[in-house]
A and B are shown apart, each in its own frame.
Chain A
């Protein structure tokens, strides 16, 4: 990306922050959304995050890599298991990074 495109992206993300957080507070009249739209809004973030996270863990150089030789997959499994028990961001990251470094060390 060029310098200009990166700044455009930053400004666009800023606009998205303002619109999603403050936008619904601004109109003074009554606001009500259709149930279908409310459901879609509820599930959108989890789906978007999954679509960002999973390729990072499952793909190596653009191809599917589900094997013990993929340290990022092992890190993701360790992190997800930890997260199920602790619900904490810090412990999840710590468990994943330790698994990642250990897996790399073993396969190196």
Chain B
């Protein structure tokens, strides 16, 4: 349900930032990346260069590098093409559910089948939401300000993370940097802000962790 709503918001946001129907469908079906798509849209609408758009989407996607490293013990077997397919279908919610069940030891023996099934449901809910959003988007007047819903959806991802000190520091530094640097050409302020934010978060983490207790 949450994934469906998320797809809906992204579908709406794609149409509202001026993508054609074909482009919006292409993005939903190929890119399959909620937060990265939402992050890329204002850059596309603001005519940033392609490489800045792609780099920003990649950075937002970096959490999946962590996920798939964690999934390697389970999914790292079998043929390359199966690993590619399962990896591509990984979503935030199936991943979190899978790891929770795995730690509790309450997964069925067919772990890979469980993961594939959960991921497929996630994919279907996402695409159904996206398509409805794309189709309905044209019928909703622009002055409702629904583009803001996409921003708020991203906000709902950030806020729960900010209860940890390093993340909070990174988010604050990234926020200050992006506002100060918004005049930079090519929307480079976004990338500069990400780099400064990460540096601040890593520095705070190193400061909080006593010597010799590396995670």
**Which A residues have a C-beta under 8 Å from some C-beta of B?**
1, 3, 5-26, 28, 31, 33, 35-36, 38-59, 62, 64, 72, 75-76, 79-80, 83-84, 87-90, 92-93, 96-97, 100-101, 104
Contact = CB atoms under 8 A, between A and B. Distances in A.
Contacts of A26: 80, 83-84, 87
Interface string B172-215: 01110111001100000110011001100110010000000011
Contacts of B201: 39, 43, 46-47
B60 A45 contact: yes
B47 A1 contact: yes
A99 B81 CA distance: 47
B157 A49 contact: yes
B69 interface: yes
Contacts of B40: 9, 13
Contacts of B171: 46-47, 50
A100 B72 contact: no
16 contacts: A1-B44, A13-B30, A13-B53, A13-B54, A16-B58, A20-B58, A43-B166, A43-B202, A44-B63, A44-B198, A46-B201, A48-B59, A49-B39, A49-B155, A52-B154, A96-B152
A48 B178 CA distance: 10
Interface of B is mostly: helix
A91 to B, nearest CB: 8
Given A14-B31, A50-B171, A52-B39, A58 B179 contact: yes
B99 interface: no
Given A45-B59, A47-B198, A50-B171, A80 B155 contact: yes
